[in-house]
Amino acid sequence: MIFKFGKRINYLVLNTNFVTLEYKYSIMSQEVKPTQGPNKTKKKSKEKAPWWFDLQVKDLVKPFIIKRMQLLSAGALVLALLAGGFYTWENYLREPTGEEFVNEIVDAAGGMDTWRSIEHGQFTRTHNLYADNGEMLRTTEETFYFKRGKEGLKLQIKSVGDDNSEVLVGKDLEGFWATKDNQAVDPMTAAKDEGMMCDSKFCDPQCASSMAFFRFSMPFKLKDKGVNASLASTGLNLAELNLLGGSGEEPTLLDISYNEGVGKDKWRFYVDPKDNLIHKMEYYNVSDKGETRPEEIYWTDHKTVDGITFSHRWTRYWPNGKVMDEYLYSDVNLDSELPDGFFNRRSGSTIVEL
């Protein structure tokens, strides 16, 4: 019995060991046996985490995931919208500064490069003066000859009045000179008789003529140093808009003043937004006594000559709407070269012909 019992115990032990070995083998088989085929396992081992994996952060307070890329995209979109809005405002919606607007009307008139390239030329200006009832009082025809250089502006005026007398007024190194019908005359008296003098005590025989050329040079003179430009509103009525002779739209008003020591007069220019050309000028002259005397001139009939676009008709009106006077420009030549000695003093009947 004992032996048999021992054999049974040995059998149980062997049997138990077999079960244990089988259990271990089963576990090892589960650990070693691949869940996928060799090709799939090898392929999966080469796969990497997506590039946006590290761009995810987990909110520890709320159970949702915020992607950093979404924040970056939103930020880029906001910056793009701001940049686009600034560009639109700067180039299409923002009203230009006074200086920028001066550049626009200078470009519309031909540009500074074109104006600076003009060294000499001539033009004729016919002045018709009317009474307040419309009757013509006087007609004067003036021809302006000019030359610009290192010595400054040289100017000579030939005036022909109703009596067909011809008066020349000029200036050289010795001073002012004048002739009437080829005979030497006093330049101050001749200039006054021809209406070339202003009423200032500082006026000289070419004062009014210099101012006329200064106005003819607009808007290029607005680029001079010491000029202050600003924009303002107009509030013109329909009748005033019709006098401008432009597109009929509300003009842009340009106010001009000067730095102290440069000038004390003030100017206002009404500029058509369609063509950026001056269609009305207001001049506020300060007299010797400090009085401000306004003057308004309507500029119409714009034409381009030798690359420069300007008004060929300047008109002033009486309070009743009748024309007070008008200046008509003709025979404009900004490319004519004047001969040497043209601006020299005339003596007797010696006239230098063109």
- 4: exposed, middle or buried (C-beta count within 10 Å: 0-12, 13-18, 19+)? exposed
Rounded to an integer, what distance in angstroms lies between the CA atom of residue 328 and that of residue 314?
A: 7
Nearest to 115 by CA among 319, 317, 343, 306: 306
What pLDDT sits at residue 60? 53
Rounded to an integer, what distance in angstroms lies between the CA atom of residue 30 and that of residue 41?
A: 16
What's the alpha-carbon Rg for the chain, to the nearest Å?
Answer: 45
- Higher model confidence: residue 331 or residue 33? 331
* Least confident interval from 128-137, 150-159, 193-202, 237-246: 237-246
* Least confident interval from 25-34, 175-184, 294-303: 25-34
Nearest to 195 by CA among 178, 207, 177, 213: 207
Element holding 10 (H helix, E strand): helix 2-32
What pLDDT sits at residue 34? 52
What pLDDT sits at residue 32? 47
Write the CB contacts of 166 (distance below 8 Å, at least 6 apart in sequence). 158, 159, 160, 180, 181, 182
What pTM, to 2 d.p., does this model score? 0.70
Q: What pLDDT band is residue 2 in, cutting at 50, 70 and 90? A: very low
What pLDDT sits at residue 89? 53
What pLDDT sits at residue 53? 54
At the topology level of CATH, where does 99-333 sit?
A: outer membrane lipoprotein receptor (LolB), chain A (2.50.20)
Rounded to an integer, what distance in angstroms lies between the CA atom of residue 339 and that of residue 65?
A: 87
pLDDT above 60 for 228 = yes
- Residue ranges per structural domain of the chain: 99-333
What pLDDT sits at residue 205? 92
Nearest to 168 by CA among 147, 142, 150: 142
Rounded to an integer, what distance in angstroms lies between the CA atom of residue 147 and that of residue 74?
A: 63
What pLDDT sits at residue 326? 96
